[in-house]
Structure 1
Amino acid sequence: MTDPELIADPYTGFGRLRETAPVARARNLDGSPMWVVTRHDEVRAVLDDPRFANNPLSVPGIDSDKRAELLVNMGLSEEYVPYIADTVLDTDPPDHTRLRKLVSRAFTVRRVSGLRPRVEQITADLLDALPDHAGDDGSVDLIEHFAYPLPITVICEMVGVPEADRPLWRRWGAELVQMQAPDRMRSALVEMVEHIRGMIAQRRETPGDDLLDALIAVREEDGDRLTEKELITMVLTLVIAGHETTANLIGNGTAALLTHPGQLERLRRDPELAPRAVHELMRWCGPILGTRPRWATEDIDLGGQRIPQGEPVMAMIVGANRDPERFDDPDRLDITRTYETRGEQHTGFGHGMHYCLGAALARQEGEVAFTRLFERYPGLSLAAAGDELEWIPRPGLRALRRLPLRLGRD
């Protein structure tokens, strides 16, 4: 997963695996057995089958979570471990069903749709400021000055994070995944948790009308509501997951369009293609290469292999989304492909009960970002050759470290 050639071109490597061993036995970094699934049908089966659990403690006979143990071994206090190892992403039914239902009552389509004018304004402001960030060579890093600031600003406004605190969240988000720098990871998590705890206390004293207020107030007919720990983990998950993947979608998608001028010209001529373009970019160069491990809660037959109870499975989105059995000419970028808004064939936003809660927001931000970026800067071009772009070597993630661009004439 960390092979330099696989990082540079995951599509060829995982495509070869999909054709020769679509359900392949592999080894974790610690030497323990795992499975890698690359074919579309089997990937969707893993994501849709409740017998594959997100939490290893859901497996009969497993009474310890190696993920939590790893965090403790890295020096994280047991008090804070659940905030990163027991989120809505790590739960299974009935806990996941309950959490998802409660959050969905607050994170509504109407709330997301109402953000469109602010997404447009934030996009316009960031695009206007891009020339101010040009370096000595005239290039601008789109990741640093547009792709990241847009979604972090939107989700922070939605949740209710004060403007002065938003730079902290970007730093915390970057440090939270620095497993090779455990001191920074630990301090980032503790600071985030305490920051959210303070926000919740302040909202209880002086309620407002943002998403955090809605999460505090939401309750089921039987009176069930989110606990403080659940509120903290939910805000943390929404903010971190709500900006990083969208930022990488914007970065990856911009690079893809600039290296496929025919597709870019289609989008310029017909901005109404933006929704289709976002779906196609999520399929063709989406930010998620593979899911978190899922654990088999019993022996399961999958793609001609038997997955033993208790062994983890990684569903490779990157393989599924380039499967020729599902997509015609899958390696071709085609923004005119037809995708339904819900139930789409690609798995860029996941599938099944863990389908991305923020998919509608991510699509909206992507549509606005791509349309307005190329509208505002019609002469936009890469300031480096496509094969010189540097990809972050992080398993499961497809993300550019930088995206240097020349703005051209307005």
Structure 2
Amino acid sequence: MEFSDVLADPVAAYRRAREEAPVARLGPMWVVLRHAEARTVLTDQRFALSAASYLQRPDVPERYRPYLRTMQEMEGAEHQRLRRLVAPSFSPREAEAMRPRIAAIVERLLDEAVRDKEVDLLRDFATPLPMEVICELIGVPPADRPRWRVYGAAVAGGHGKAFAEAIPAIIDDAANVDARFGGELTETERVTLVWHLVLAGQVPANLIANAVAALLEHPAQLAELREVPALMPQAVEELTRWCGPQLLTIPRYAQQDVNLGGVPIPKGDPVTVSILSANRDPRVFDDPDTLDLRRVATGHLGYAHGPHFCLGAPLARVQTELALSAVLRRFPDLAPAPGEEARRLPDPGTWRLASLRVVG
């Protein structure tokens, strides 16, 4: 499997590879393509994170690097302790409690965005939304939030000078935010968690944009969702399965020679899971390449699986439900802007659009 094929059309590239074997080579890594083997890798101690998995940033000053190792790169007792301390703050109940505040943010951002007949929903709505929600969650004062929105946009970009410059700025500002996620966290752990929220919390931006684009490409599904708004939570799960933005997991390393679905993985080799491929595995999902908002899409890996199941999944679900509901209400004749085509950025790790200009 070649990177060029994955960048050009990841759905088709992974489909071809998945039917040949449960695991394939992609550059220096093994990529797990089928659902059963993916769940194995995400839960089996024979595959572990290591120092090679951490966010290594030589362009970030040394004193900030201790904050870059977040829970998503930890294993075992260390990971369990931190997750146990902070998990109550990210429970489904806490996410539901934030629903009114998130709804107010959604409406305000749409008010700001919808000033002309045409709006870029990715740039002006979906991208700033997660950072506004994070600011609400951790208590960033309103006067400071424009600066944090700039940080969020840089992190959502995923790379480059702006991303590198945002990291120390986020960490410095996080030290001045009175966020509490468990009384036993050290100051370094508390600041690191804020950085983790900013880093991982950008997923809804691309999920919302991908979902709107998918609905525009499937007008019958869009019409049904308008007619039956109660479908929204179920629709969000199916959209997460079908067009979730996270393509690959953080690499894990084989701790010994492993036979994975009949494929020998040598000790020390990096192994990643293709979430997109696992979520379209016909062994688990009937007619998986069809978007079906009435599908009960349980078991998808859009938020990973096992000990590292996304802590912020409940919050991401609430954000996405509220955002899509508001867009459908505010744009009764939602359609792509004249000349707008769904163009995806070349990124092997994230499935994301370059823009999402709409009218309606």
SS of structure 1 residue aligned to 2:344: coil
Q: Quote the residue 1:364 is aligned against.
A: 318
Q: Quote the residue 2:70 is aligned against.
A: 87
- The alpha-carbon distance between structure 1 residues 251 and 186, as it changes in their structure 2 partners (threshold 3 A), is closer
1:161 aligns with 2:140: yes
1:376 aligns with 2:330: yes
| Maintained 8 Å contact 2:234/2:294 | yes
d(CA) in 2 for partners of 1:259, 1:186: 35
d(CA) in 2 for partners of 1:311, 1:4: 22
- TM superposition shift of 1:163: 1.9
TM-score (norm 1): 0.82
1:18 aligns with 2:23: no
- TM superposition shift of 1:8: 4.2
SS of structure 1 residue aligned to 2:271: strand
1:241 aligns with 2:196: no
SS of structure 2 residue aligned to 1:357: coil
Q: Quote the residue 1:51 is aligned against.
A: 46
d(CA) in 1 for partners of 2:234, 2:193: 30
| Maintained 8 Å contact 2:128/2:153 | no
Q: Quote the residue 1:150 is aligned against.
A: 129
CA deviation map 1:84-126 (0-9, x unaligned): 2x11010001111111101113333332111111122222223
Q: Quote the residue 1:222 is aligned against.
A: none
| Maintained 8 Å contact 1:7/1:391 | no
Q: Quote the residue 1:395 is aligned against.
A: 348
Report the count of equivalent residues: 360
1:406 aligns with 2:355: no
Q: Quote the residue 2:225 is aligned against.
A: 267
CA RMSD of aligned residues (A): 2.1
d(CA) in 1 for partners of 2:321, 2:190: 30
- TM superposition shift of 1:10: 1.0
SS of structure 2 residue aligned to 1:80: helix
d(CA) in 2 for partners of 1:178, 1:404: 18
1:193 aligns with 2:179: no
d(CA) in 1 for partners of 2:322, 2:81: 33
- The alpha-carbon distance between structure 1 residues 155 and 181, as it changes in their structure 2 partners (threshold 3 A), is closer
Residue 81 of structure 2, aligned match among 75, 98, 101: 98
TM-score (norm 2): 0.93
Match of 2:224, as an amino acid?
R
Match of 1:6, as an amino acid?
V
| Maintained 8 Å contact 2:258/2:265 | yes
1:328 aligns with 2:282: no
- TM superposition shift of 1:67: 5.0
Q: More deviation in 367-376 or 118-127?
A: 118-127
- TM superposition shift of 1:303: 1.1
Counterparts of 1:209-288 in structure 2, within 5 Å, are 212-213=179-180, 215=181, 218-219=182-183, 225-242=184-201, 244-288=202-246
SS of structure 1 residue aligned to 2:132: helix
Q: Quote the residue 1:27 is aligned against.
A: 27
Match of 1:77, as an amino acid?
P
Match of 1:380, as an amino acid?
L
- TM superposition shift of 1:185: 3.7
- TM superposition shift of 1:152: 1.8
Match of 1:160, as an amino acid?
G
d(CA) in 1 for partners of 2:114, 2:2: 36
- TM superposition shift of 1:77: 2.8
d(CA) in 1 for partners of 2:103, 2:155: 29
Match of 2:355, as an amino acid?
R
d(CA) in 2 for partners of 1:262, 1:385: 22
- The alpha-carbon distance between structure 1 residues 308 and 177, as it changes in their structure 2 partners (threshold 3 A), is farther
CA deviation map 1:323-378 (0-9, x unaligned): 11111111100000014xxxx31101111111111111111111111122112211
Residue segments in structure 1 that go unaligned for 5+ positions in a row: 29-33, 58-64, 204-211, 220-224
| Maintained 8 Å contact 2:48/2:254 | yes
1:78 aligns with 2:62: yes
Q: More deviation in 321-330 or 163-172?
A: 163-172
Larger-Rg structure: 1
- TM superposition shift of 1:165: 2.2
Q: Quote the residue 2:90 is aligned against.
A: 107
d(CA) in 2 for partners of 1:82, 1:2: 35
